[in-house]
Amino acid sequence: MAATPYLELPLGSIKANGWLEDQLRRMADGLTGHLDEIYPEVVGPRNGWLGGDGDGWERGPYWIDGLLPLAYILDDERLKQKARPWIEWTLANQAESGYLGPSPFETEPEPERGIQKGPREDWWPKMVMLKVLQQYYQATGDERVITALTKYFQYQLKMLPEKPLDHLSLWANRRAGDNLMVVYWLYNITGDAFLLELGDLIQEQTFPWQKIYTNAENPFQFDDTWFYNKLKRYPFDSTEMAVLTISKIPGLHTVNVAQGLKQPLVYYQKSKDSQALPAVKKALGDLKQYHGQPTGMYGGDEPLHGNNPVQGIELCSIAEEMFSLETNLKITGDMEFADLLERITYNALPTQASDDYRTRQYFQAANQVELTDQLETSFEKTNHEGTDFVFGVLSGYPCCTTNMHQSWPKFVQNLFYATPDRGVAALLYAPSTVQMTVADGVTLKIVETTGFPFRERVDFALELTKEAEFPFHLRIPAWAKDPKITLNGQAVDFVATNQVAVLNRTWKNGDKVTLTLPMELKTSTWYKGMVSIERGPLVFSLKVESEERQKDRKDRFRAFWEVFPKSDWNYALEESFLRNLSENVALIEREWNGDYPWNLENAPIELRLNGVHLPEWRTVKSAPELSENIPQVISPAELERRKREITLVPYGCTTLRITEFPVVRVE
């Protein structure tokens, strides 16, 4: 197996501080900590993963995949007690054969709307529970996990030839990188050779993501929006596989794409295939080119759907792409994954859940100015009955209600790593504390104090039980020009190799390291030449005042909240103005004590600038579609009549917003 440059620390070694801790506690007080009370019909006592006759597929494990790391990061006994029965039932009820999970029904049960009772023998939901068990072991060292996983993987090796990954549903062949990841994790603990054999078998039966990433562009189009459901299963049809590309619209399933981004690099650990990393980077480049939005995510309202800024981005896609990027970062040490991970986390993630973490959107978009049940921009127009963009518990589709919880806790879990030469690496920046061992067993505690991503400075205070020599890795983001590092107030000369500065010295208790990452205003160009403004990892959006209105249609989607604008949103930016942002934009760092930042009231930074009012730009069924009657050229006199001062705030602080602005030229 290929050596990995960064090693994950035991779960609970890294604690969140400041606003990030507040974010986690809002989760604990909201859906994450109370989902069994809010959504008992699925994650209550009847769940099959608790031995019940109810839901027995992915949603229960999804919830625990986020609840468990949250519980151990916060060291919250109430949350641990909620997660523990799921672990205990799974470990105590493993079949003699090695089978894990809800027992198959002897006779097909009566269907109940909103409950996925099966297929209980499907390999896919078990992959989610494998991740849960892995994390539980990382937190507790409970050896029962090693025994259970060994037995399960022996069962899987025996059964896959006759019951391949997709024998009951396509999801397992698309998402088997998660399965393979845990197989290799266990191999690195036990060294059991059969695990490598199993890994090759899983790879053979997995959707060929690496091939699809590198396929040549071609004009072939499928005649069905939902073609991904109808592709031949294993053994895959070579003709179908040869024409698939990331660029297709309608395209592959958005969440499968997010999870597939890790698969080639997980298998790389054994194959050492030098083409795996370039293939994944090409996929990320194609996602940006053909479907990208400024937050680092991509239009995928079920199938991939292009880069119009009104297209939806599914919350599950955000959570799963974050996890794929975290996985890839550890395996490769390539900081491009860290840059993108911060961009997604600090822009797309915060806005898709309410401040109290009790409602969420199924889809978000870069440009959204009315969130109603009349929006029809997505491919999914029928089954969700218009509820994809509103805020609710079960609006859109319920998968995100259970899968959203892994996002923030796993981000915290990846803020620091150990290095193979007994050092420490800080590759993602947020207020936090880590405790670990370095050098020859010396205990190290680092307190990271920072206003990042809103501020440029990151401070690290080191506490050591004794002096020790070890390397300290610091990531230098690609966007940071002329970064500075000081040690105890003195400038440090450094060279960043592959975006990493390594400080290798003898460290003593009380040492302080300061990293300064200059953030410059810049523009980026997107759909039909529309422009966004960025600074460091943050994307900025128009500040749109809003009001919420509750709506209850007395249907399966429960009550939800629609959101309407209370201020103008229809602005363009003037072309020549964009050539000199530093002179034309006032950057306001608001007074901020480090508390929860993700709303308009608390936004720690604002941009003030002149916009060009476009009353011609109106919504179409609640969506701010870019219409043809918007002027592209205006006179100087017209500019003066239309000019208004506007305020931009970080994307993650918004609910309604314009992020991609049309551009007008003055002649």
Buried b (16+ CB within 10 A) or exposed e, 233-255: bbebeeeeeeebbbbbbbbbbbb
Q: Residue 205: its pLDDT value, please?
A: 99
Mean pLDDT over 305-318 rounds to 98
Mean pLDDT over 436-464 rounds to 99
% residues pLDDT > 90 (the chain): 98
Q: What would the pLDDT profile of 355-366 be if each residue is shown by its tens digit?
A: 999 999 999 999
Q: Is it the case that residue 85 has pLDDT exceeding 90?
A: yes
Mean pLDDT over the full length of the chain: 98
Per mean pLDDT, which range of 73-77, 398-402, 627-631, 638-642 is the poorest? 627-631
Mean pLDDT over 598-612 rounds to 99
Among the listed residues 203, 150, 210, 194, the one whose alpha carbon sits nearest the alpha carbon of residue 173: 203
Q: What would the pLDDT profile of 51-65 be if each residue is shown by its tens digit?
A: 999 999 999 999 999
Mean pLDDT over 362-380 rounds to 95
User: CA 524: distance to chain centroid?
Assistant: 22
**Residue 126, phi-psi category: left (phi > 0), alpha (psi -120 to 50), beta (remainder):** alpha
Mean pLDDT over 377-401 rounds to 94
Q: What would the pLDDT profile of 471-489 be if each residue is shown by its tens digit?
A: 999 999 999 999 999 999 9
Q: Dihedral through CA 120, CA 123, CA 125, CA 128, nearest 10?
A: 150
Q: Is it the case that residue 382 has pLDDT exceeding 90?
A: no
Which homologous superfamily is 417-516 in? Golgi alpha-mannosidase II (2.60.40.1180)
Q: Is the pTM of this model over 0.95?
A: yes
Q: What would the pLDDT profile of 150-168 be if each residue is shown by its tens digit?
A: 999 999 999 999 999 999 9
Q: What would the pLDDT profile of 411-428 be if each residue is shown by its tens digit?
A: 999 999 999 999 999 999
Contact criterion met (CB below 8 Å) for 414 and 610: no
Q: Is it the case that residue 652 has pLDDT exceeding 90?
A: yes
Distance CA 654, CA 279 (A): 34
Q: Which tokens sit at 667?
A: 């002649």
Q: Is it the case that residue 381 has pLDDT exceeding 90?
A: no
Q: Which tokens sit at 204?
A: 């053979």
Q: Residue 380: its pLDDT value, please?
A: 82
For the chain, what are the domain ranges?
45-105+117-206, 417-516, 521-666
Per this entry, what is the length of the chain?
A: 667
Q: Is it the case that residue 263 has pLDDT exceeding 90?
A: yes
- Contact partners, residue 458, CB within 8 Å, separation at least 6: 429, 448, 449, 450, 452, 514, 515, 516, 517
Strand-pair category, 546-551 with 633-634? unpaired
